[in-house]
């Protein structure tokens, strides 16, 4: 009832439907003297609606696409209604539009319901856009932490990920925007670019 966890690659029993999966999110609230209530029903309904999975409710989880399956699992975690939610790469398997939908949902849970959300994200630009507090880790150790603008610098990205980049300001969110510099690109506009023949 206090902590919800969504691992990176959860597995559902074969043949389990989406509605049954999301209903299981309410099991911590069930006891021998407190059975299914209208509040449980509403929590499941709201979670399905928030994750865009209402139309998938009667389908088997193991028959869904990777993105649909991921949204069903997120719906289960949302329905659980815990004040703290740990999400390990919640945007895995999702196309870009659904990634943004999920991250917007997470922000809504935080801002409207006061839930604490801890996420593992490997997309630095999404982390900068959606996180209030960022922790950069390398080999299990914390390299930097704080506000995205304080943590996501060209130096930190190169240290943690071994990636040369430029960090500028996202014109939409006004948060740091990481622009990778590959071996075939140059960050210096004065230096001529080589093209493939």
- In the chain, what are the helix, strand and coil shares in percent, each to the nearest 5? 40, 20, 40
- Report pLDDT for 175: 95
Residue 182 has pLDDT above 70, yes or no: yes
Q: Do 25 and 79 meet the contact criterion of CB atoms below 8 Å apart?
A: yes
| Alpha helices (H) in 81-144, listed in sequence order | 96-113, 124-130
* pLDDT tens column, 5-61: 887 777 777 889 999 999 988 877 776 666 778 888 998 999 999 888 999 999 999
Tokens of 118: 């801890």
Domain range summary for the chain, segments of one domain joined by +: 3-120
Q: How far apart are CA 52 and CA 67, in angstroms?
A: 11
Q: Do 12 and 61 meet the contact criterion of CB atoms below 8 Å apart?
A: yes
Band of pLDDT at residue 3, cut at 50, 70 and 90: confident
Which segment of 36-40, 182-186, 190-194 scores lowest on mean pLDDT? 190-194
Q: Is 18 exposed, middle or buried (0-12, 13-18, 19+ CB in 10 A)?
A: buried
Tokens of 174: 């006004």
Band of pLDDT at residue 196, cut at 50, 70 and 90: low
Q: How far apart are CA 63 and CA 73, in angstroms?
A: 14
- Report pLDDT for 60: 93
Locus of tokens 């902590």: 3
Q: Domain 3-120 class?
A: alpha beta
The whole-model pTM stands at 0.75
Residue 113 has pLDDT above 60, yes or no: yes
Radius of gyration of the chain (CA): 20
- Report pLDDT for 13: 78
Picking from 101, 97, 96, the residue whose alpha carbon sits closest to that of residue 75 is 101
Which segment of 89-103, 115-129, 152-166 scores lowest on mean pLDDT? 89-103
Residue 72 has pLDDT above 60, yes or no: yes
């Amino acid at each position: 009832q206090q902590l919800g966890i969504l691992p990176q690659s959860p597995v559902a029993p074969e043949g389990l439907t989406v509605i049954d999966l999301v209903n299981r999110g309410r099991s911590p609230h069930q006891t021998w003297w407190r059975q299914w209530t209208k509040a449980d029903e509403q929590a499941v309904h709201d979670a399905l609606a928030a994750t865009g999975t209402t139309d998938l409710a009667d389908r088997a989880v193991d028959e869904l696409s990777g993105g649909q399956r991921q949204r069903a699992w997120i719906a289960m975690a949302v329905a659980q209604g815990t004040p703290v939610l740990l999400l390990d790469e919640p945007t895995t398997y999702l196309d870009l539009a659904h990634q943004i939908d999920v991250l917007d949902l997470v922000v809504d849970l935080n801002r409207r319901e006061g839930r604490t959300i801890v996420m593992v994200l490997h997309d630095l630009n999404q982390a900068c856009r959606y996180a209030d507090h960022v922790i950069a880790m390398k080999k299990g150790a914390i390299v930097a932490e704080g506000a995205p603008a304080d943590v996501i610098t060209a130096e930190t990205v190169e240290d943690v990920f071994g990636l040369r980049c430029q960090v500028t300001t996202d014109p939409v969110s006004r948060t740091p925007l990481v622009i990778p510099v590959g071996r075939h690109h140059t960050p210096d506009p004065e230096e001529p670019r080589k093209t493939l023949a």
